[in-house]
């Protein structure tokens, strides 16, 4: 097989291992990582580019490794006739908007865990006080990618969740504009 030109587009450098493997298989690769904190991912292993848009004409295949609007970019390139691996605006929304994803599952008959969306930590604290039980705090949108922010409550009265919600209100209120409280149940999510 003749070598292909692969362009990998990443927000946080999530796919460096695959970029390297494609390169080892004899294909030409260029890797773009948007996040300043992750730009060095795969340095020394594969060719990098700081402006993936300038490489679109060069690429035979373009790979997007994330959501957060990447599906919209992928879809536009598909409409231009490019071969693209990655999401769509619909898959972005499924992943980025927890409530939408849950409702889509429900629409297709998949049982879902009870949840409620919040934009205010104070409202969530009041809700837990009025409805005490174990909850899971799940940030939505870009904040959900900060894995340390997902919190799994252990206390039957929800007091640990209330404490974390208070802490998040002080430290993360500007970064977490939407989050979900999901009733905690044992087993597989």
The span from the CA of 112 to the CA of 155, in Å, is 22
pLDDT at 147: 57
Average pLDDT over every residue of 154-178: 91
User: What value does the mean pLDDT take over residues 79-98?
Assistant: 94
% pLDDT > 70, the chain = 95
The fold adopted by the segment(s) 5-94 is: Rossmann fold (3.40.50)
DSSP 90: H
Residues of the chain with CATH 3.40.50.20: 5-94
Residues near 74 by beta carbon (within 8 Å), at least 6 away in sequence: 62, 64, 84, 86, 87, 88
Q: How far is CA 72 from the centre of its chain?
A: 14
Whether domain 97-183 has CATH 3.30.1490.20: yes
Is the pTM higher than 0.85? The answer reads no
Q: Where in the chain is the domain with CATH 3.30.1490.20?
A: 97-183
Measure the CA angle with vertex 178, ends 174 and 183; round to 5°: 130
């Amino acid at each position: 097989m003749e070598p292909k030109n692969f362009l990998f587009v990443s927000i946080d450098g999530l796919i460096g291992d695959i970029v390297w493997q494609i390169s080892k298989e004899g294909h030409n690769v260029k890797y773009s990582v948007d996040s300043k904190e992750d730009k060095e991912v795969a340095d020394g292993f594969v060719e990098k580019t700081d402006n993936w848009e300038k490489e679109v004409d060069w690429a035979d295949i373009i790979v997007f490794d994330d959501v957060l609007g990447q599906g919209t970019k992928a879809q536009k390139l598909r409409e231009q006739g490019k071969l693209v691996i990655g999401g769509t605006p619909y898959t972005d929304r499924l992943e980025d908007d927890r409530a939408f994803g849950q409702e889509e599952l429900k629409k297709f008959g998949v049982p879902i865990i009870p949840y409620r969306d919040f934009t205010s930590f104070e409202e969530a604290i009041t809700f837990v006080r009025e409805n005490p039980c174990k909850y899971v705090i799940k940030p939505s949108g870009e904040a959900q990618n900060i894995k340390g922010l997902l919190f799994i409550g252990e206390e039957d009265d929800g007091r640990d969740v209330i404490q974390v919600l208070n802490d998040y209100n002080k430290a993360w209120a500007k970064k977490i504009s939407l989050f979900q409280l999901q009733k905690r149940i044992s087993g597989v999510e």
